[in-house]
A and B are shown apart, each in its own frame.
Chain A
Amino acid sequence: MNYFPDEVLEHVFDFVASHRDRNAVSLVCRLWHRVERLSRQRVFVGNCYALSPEILIARFPGLKSLTLKGKPHFADFNLVPHDWGGYVQPWIEALSNSRIGLEELRLKRMVVSDESLELLSRSFANFKSLVLVSCEGFTTVGLAAIAANCRFLRELDLQENEIDDHSGHWLSCFPDSCTSLISLNFALPLETLQNILMRAPQLVDLGTGSYIHDPDSETYNKLKHTILKCKSIRNLSGFLEVAPRCLPAIYPICLNLTSLNLSYAAGIHGSELVKLIRRCAKLQRLWILDCIGDKGLEVVASTCKELQELRVFPSDVLGVGHAAVTENGLVAISAGCPKLHSLLYFCQQMTNAALIVVAKNCPNFIRFRLCILEPTKPDPVTMQPLDDGFGAIVQSCKHLRRLSLSGLLTDRVFLYIGMYAEQLEMLSVAFAGDSDKGMLYVLNGCKKLRKLEIRDCPYGDKALLTDVGKYETMRSLWMSSCEVTLGGCKTLAKEMPRLNVEIINEHDQMEIGSEEQRVEKMYLYRTLVGPRKDAPEFVWTL
């Protein structure tokens, strides 16, 4: 392999796109490591506390696109206290002080301040793309800086962030002609929607906000005509409030849509949803509320033959529930959409029989996340746990990388997972299992496991400590409301110095420090840089 000059190697590596493959390439030999790191442009950091900005900058001087993730996944569900961490400021500061020509920044579950956004907007002349998912800490002031200063901005994608100020004024900070803009994904109010579309008719991704208007008004008519000019829109989302009578304005673009997100549109009734979806034959990705019902899902199944990703969210979070979607909707989808590979499905109930059919119909699942709204609910027909149903899924779907379980489950489902889920990288478990064996089946069997998150399960120190080396092969482990004790966590921390074992101690329960005391929330992750210095008081790194 020393026969090729570096430039040739680099050229070959250009064809190696995925960061996982590039990581593998860099491990072959020192030469490859050097060539790879100098030519790497896109870097993915799954845990911002696994390394430092300085390490990143030193290794990849050619960095153009950075993806950073901060808080653990369960932070999305309020299981992690507010000031836990995940600040992007040190990263932006370090990058801005370096010679890195950053063009793209993608952040997930991080704390982003207006100061950070302003610094970002001023530091990188060629900055093109900002994606913030489930972040917090900024307001429209920061966004205004991005709109105003990033002259080559192509993509601004804001999904499910907690933004403090919702005034639309910052949108006027965009220049008059945004010919570079192809993606604007956030809640655009209707009046500005019209304005933006006029300035950027080449938009491919579009998000809307409140979509209520008098269909006879001038604004609405203008919008109808402008939309007709936006032939390139492929991804549509938003619709936080909708007047169904205004939906016809978007009918002309439905045929070309490949991605549609109606999961915030609680105001659209099932029948209107169905009318809309019947026009979207090319849909590859659909996010929707369960008020579409099983019947509505049958329409999706017969219309959207290209469907790859489906997410069905609950519309009635607290109530007893008028049955929204059940196993029947899922079975219909599995029968009608052969290309389906990613699923997130909130439902009232699920049966083993249905899961077995789904497994047979869709052996290509990569992500399978099922959430039965009632915890520990068994198969309503047989009153049995759902072990066999999920077992069928893992056995049939040989490429399964992500799995979320729910319903009544015993240790047996974990036996199946350990046996069959060879490609599994991420597993989410809640209210399941009978004993430590469950967790051990998974840790022993799933060789590619990277993230394991567990809540309210009977796993204790024995499960935690049987194979401590395993955790260095994983990104992180989360355990809350389980049986692990302070003593067990301390033992683990002592044996594995390259892990940060964090205890989140919200109620001062650890003051006495008894070893037998149960730990309410534990989050451990591998890291190159030891305990973090920005941990708040309630987080102990053991």
Chain B
Amino acid sequence: MESKVAYDNDLNLKATELRLGLPGTDDREEQTLFSARNNKRPLPDTSKECGSKKKSDAQHVDNETAPPTKAQIVGWPPIRSYRKNNLQPKKSDQAEVAGIYVKVSMDGAPYLRKIDLGIYQGYPELLKALESMFKFTIGEYSEREGYKGSEYAPTYEDKDGDWMLVGDVPWDMFMSSCKRLRIMKGSEARGLGCGV
């Protein structure tokens, strides 16, 4: 009880303070924690000023400029945790795929590398990154003939354990099925294409 009164007194002082800027934009943290509660429970001595002011402008502005309010209220918005748990990881495409690290091996290289597939928007970016990482060039991709014009072919191991040519399936599907990458070289690479 006591600490709550102190808080209210603090906020009251700030509300009457002269300063530049919109009311409610300072001390966001303090306010967001209590904004919801203050809104509905002005204390008798500060009710008119604190309560109504909070409700009409400061509260409104507060809510506009302080999104964390929602996250700090227990049980709000009112959806079951089953739903919340189901949604969090899929908040956005980026969030969903961030951190998909796969090993990359290059034939003839002494050690492997690891890359995060999630940071690439698509095949062109990925291939460019591989080229730069291992200092080689990948040829032109065509559906019919695989990668023409170089002795390297980027391949990946999919969920079923098969070695597939990078680029055949849509990017999303590739990201969810790629287990590791291998840059094949020489005759083995040519074996994957349809007769180079």
Q: Which residues A160-174 have CB closer than 8 A to chain B?
A: 160-162
Interface segment among A46-54, A74-82, A121-129, A332-340: the answer is: A74-82
Residues of B within 8 A of A431 (CB): 36, 39-40
| CB of B179 within 8 Å of the partner chain | no
Q: Is the CB of B71 within 8 A of A263?
A: no
A432 and B39 CA atoms in complex are apart in Å by 9
| CB of B124 within 8 Å of the partner chain | no
Q: Quick one: given A243-B172, A316-B91, A376-B39, are A430 and B177 in contact (CB under 8 Å)? A: no
Partner of A243, one of B70, B91, B96, B173: B173
Residues of B within 8 A of A374 (CB): 63, 69-70
A316 and B90 CA atoms in complex are apart in Å by 9
Residues of A within 8 A of B81 (CB): 78, 162
Interface SS, A side: loop
Residues of A within 8 A of B84 (CB): 317
Q: Which residues A315-343 have CB closer than 8 A to chain B?
A: 315-320
Q: Is the CB of B79 within 8 A of A314?
A: yes
Q: Is the CB of B67 within 8 A of A320?
A: yes
Q: Closest CB of chain A to B66's CB: distance in Å?
A: 10
Q: How many residues of B contact A (CB 8 A)?
A: 38
Q: Closest CB of chain B to A320's CB: distance in Å?
A: 4
Q: Closest CB of chain A to B112's CB: distance in Å?
A: 27
Q: Closest CB of chain B to A43's CB: distance in Å?
A: 26
Q: Is the CB of B75 within 8 A of A433?
A: no
Q: Is the CB of B82 within 8 A of A78?
A: no
Q: Closest CB of chain A to B54's CB: distance in Å?
A: 10
Chain B's closest residue to A518 (CB) is B1
Interface string of A436-466 (1 = CB under 8 A from B): 0000000000000000000111100000000
Residues of chain B at the chain A interface (Cβ within 8 Å): 36-37, 39-41, 55-56, 59-60, 63, 67, 69-71, 73-84, 86-88, 90-91, 96, 169-170, 172-173, 176-177
Residues of chain A at the chain B interface (Cβ within 8 Å): 74, 76-79, 134, 160-162, 212, 214, 240-241, 243, 245, 263-264, 266-267, 313-320, 346, 371, 373-378, 383, 408, 428, 430-433, 455-458, 481, 483
Question: Could you name 23 residue pairs across A and B whose Cβ atoms are closer than 8 Å?
Answer: A74-B75, A76-B80, A77-B80, A78-B74, A160-B82, A162-B81, A241-B90, A245-B170, A245-B173, A318-B67, A371-B78, A373-B77, A374-B70, A375-B69, A375-B70, A375-B76, A376-B39, A376-B59, A383-B60, A430-B76, A433-B40, A456-B36, A481-B37
